[in-house]
Structure 1
Amino acid sequence: MRKKLQAKSSVRAQYKDWCVPKRGNANPERQTNDVWSWLVETRVGAYTAHEAAGAGERVYPGWCFARYGQSETVLADGTKIYIGGEHEDHYDPDFYIYNDVVAVRPDASVEIFGYPKDVFPPTDFHSATLVGDKVYIIGGLRYPESRSDHETQIYQLELEGFSIHRVEVNGQAPSWLYDHKAELNESGTKIVCTGGQVTHHQAQRTVENLTTWEFDLETLTWATAGSEVATRWVLVREDESYNELFGIQTVARASRSSRLDKFAERYKAEFAQRGHVVDAELFYSRFQPPIPHSPVAIDRDGDEFKVHRILIDGVIVRYVEDMHEIAVTVEGELSGDTIEVLKRHGLETYSRLEGLPYKCILL
């Protein structure tokens, strides 16, 4: 049996003073304390931390270092710089997006710096690129009210003193870029950003970024360095609400094993209440359009568990399923007739799978 986590006495004594997040009041405000340092060391969730500290009634949200979308930058001396990140999903009482900087030294000592929101907005799923004695923080998902749909923001962390400053840029910046990759080019003059998500203004939604963006560190100017050739669309329910693919998958898998677990039974009953029966064979053939094609193998244990690919006339067609939409990307050129077959097949398939009408949005 795993030994129950117990906070040390200094943490228990200070826990009520530091159990919740606090924005900084200066640029920066040093916020290092025994509670947060212990949480950086243990990386336990807010609930576990509260139990270990024996703090009684919960206060929400709890400060936490078990985060998503947090960047990690390793300095030459081995120091690790962690920036921002979020804990839990938006519906959880412990949900919080941080705007702090945490430095963990090679000797395991911890320094924590906070900032006012108007100096450095809370950020997650940004990139952090080390350039000399500075870290360039690009983009980020952020809270809805802090997002800039028309411009990707850049902030500069000064490692000497840990102050953060907004970078005023030139050129046409990508629109709200997040969850991307950023690398310094070989000459050290540009930060190259690829992948991630950007805002598509005509479709009024975020889409996969297929453009390579370059930020020139000398002129502070954005420029594009090419885009992938692709035809794209998304399949969504007509009411734009979350789809039921997870429940459909659960029922379809259970039907193949001839044994319904409690989750499959629950989903099957919910579908039955609105007169819908899951077609398991249709679910497993949803990436088989009525034209010559071949499947492309994918590592289901990796990051692409939501991705499916088929090959048509030497061109990859990529499907990405999530709870909001099914994004289809044709990674090259196919005939107009073939594109129309793929669109129609997708619409008919997902409409039948859910028993609800779908629509196609071109990107």
Structure 2
Amino acid sequence: MTFDDEDIKEEDREPGPDVTPKLFRKWQKARRGSIVAEDMTNPVWAWLFRGRVDPYHANERFKSRLGKILGSVDFPDEPRWAGCRMGQSRTELADGRVFWIAGEHEDYYDPDFFIYNDLIIEHGDGAVQILGYPEEAFRPTDFHTATAINGGKEILIIGSIGYPDDREVGRTQVCSLNTDTLAIEEISTTGNPPGWISKHNAQLNEDASAILVSGGDLLTEDGFLENIDDWSLSLADCSWTRLTIRNWTRFQVARCDQASLHLWSYEMRKFALDHPGAGFDREDDLADEIGTEPNMDAYESLYRPQMTHTSLDPQDECDEDWRTKRIDVEGVQVRYVDNMDHVTVTIEGNLDRTIVEALAEDLHAKLALVENAECRIKWID
């Protein structure tokens, strides 16, 4: 999840007198717990959490006098403890405690990328408690869900992206957090699980007998794909049931050389051309990157196939992102998603095969013009 800066009090961004330079240096690095629910609370981490302070700005605050004089920039080259995270869950209990679980900082290619396996508890009186766990007790977990069950006595943690070595196609990671002992353990499930899922939604059903899971991404042999079905985890016997079987047609169009697409650069160029007074640079490196003058006509018609269709407005706030576009073809929604190195098309219903193939060929031809490169179509089972 992400944080709204407006929710953070200005005084919480300040380290306070307890956070000395010496103490900051002692606790600035990220670390794991050595025992289950090890109390690792310290003034440095408590400040970083309350103020949602990232490692770079924390280090700038405690830069040496010489570093300040020289104006040197110190980007972390190793994982340092972060108060602002992505993929961290927040679960509030009736007793006033708020449980913040794990999450990650930075992207996988950054030297200070780190997936946490800790627990941060905000108590009703404002106190912050930070607990660490060994990796064998609780794997580093991000983009999971955390659902309170059994009257708040337990939190069920479902899913994760995790580190590559921890992922397993077809298996769903489920952990139980005892809110009294604060022990976390991975539990076995049976039935038909969704698989290695992340970025999904989870909620209790009406009689609190099961957790319903939908959306998100699933790990497959071909990488992460959107989860288009719904699942149920019974709390009585920890068994999974698949609730839907949506046989939607899906395909991906990508460059044959597997290079990243340049659609973001095209979007920025289009914005600069459409809004000349906005201050955006109309001169960019796009032509050099693709080896020819950008084909703006092909880009602007990328998601407008040469058949009768209607462009649709975003359905929800997630679709507000420029990467997702929807159209209607004969009453069926067709969704285009830019996944950086390929475009995924999902046809949310039944269309004649000739129409489906025409949609694929239309996108294939236009993307080849946009990228000035050979492209290929891959059908997803």
TM-score scaled by structure 1? 0.92
Residue correspondence of structure 1 range 1-363 to structure 2 within 5 A = 6-12=14-20, 13-54=22-63, 60-132=78-150, 133-201=153-221, 204-257=222-275, 264-271=282-289, 275-298=291-314, 303-305=319-321, 306-363=323-380
Q: Percent identity?
A: 32
- Could you tell me which amino acid in structure 1 is paired with residue 211 of structure 2? I
Structure 1, residues 18-52: CA drift from partner, whole Å, max 9, x if none?
10111011111111111111111111111111222
**Structure 2: where are the runs of 5+ without partners?**
1-9, 68-73
Deviation for aligned residue 1:144: 0.9
Deviation for aligned residue 1:193: 0.5
Separation in 2, partners of 1:136, 1:296: 37
Structure 1, residues 286-344: CA drift from partner, whole Å, max 9, x if none?
11111111111127975531211111111111111131221101111110110011000
- Could you tell me which amino acid in structure 1 is paired with residue 183 of structure 2? S
Structure 1, residues 239-260: CA drift from partner, whole Å, max 9, x if none?
2222111112222333445689
Separation in 2, partners of 1:299, 1:230: 18
Separation in 2, partners of 1:47, 1:226: 45
Q: Secondary structure at the match of 2:18?
A: helix
- Cα 1:230–1:148 change in 2 (3 A) is same
**Aligned Cα RMSD in Å?**
2.3
- Cα 1:11–1:25 change in 2 (3 A) is same
Conserved? CA contact 1:320–1:328, under 8 Å: yes
Q: Secondary structure at the match of 1:227?
A: coil
- Could you tell me which amino acid in structure 2 is paired with residue 311 of structure 1? D
Deviation for aligned residue 1:205: 2.0
- Cα 1:329–1:303 change in 2 (3 A) is closer
Aligned residues: 358
Conserved? CA contact 1:242–1:323, under 8 Å: yes
**Structure 1: where are the runs of 5+ without partners?**
none
Conserved? CA contact 2:14–2:51, under 8 Å: no
- Could you tell me which amino acid in structure 2 is paired with residue 268 of structure 1? L
Conserved? CA contact 1:190–1:215, under 8 Å: yes
Separation in 2, partners of 1:172, 1:319: 29
Conserved? CA contact 1:214–1:225, under 8 Å: yes
Conserved? CA contact 1:169–1:222, under 8 Å: yes
Separation in 1, partners of 2:241, 2:341: 31
Q: Secondary structure at the match of 2:198?
A: coil
Separation in 1, partners of 2:77, 2:256: 40
Deviation for aligned residue 1:165: 0.7
Residue 7 of structure 2 corresponds to which residue in structure 1?
A: none
- Cα 1:80–1:6 change in 2 (3 A) is closer
- Could you tell me which amino acid in structure 1 is paired with residue 300 of structure 2? Y
Separation in 2, partners of 1:91, 1:263: 28
Conserved? CA contact 1:138–1:152, under 8 Å: yes
Deviation for aligned residue 1:220: 1.2
Conserved? CA contact 1:79–1:105, under 8 Å: yes
Separation in 1, partners of 2:56, 2:334: 43
TM-score scaled by structure 2? 0.88
Deviation for aligned residue 1:270: 2.1
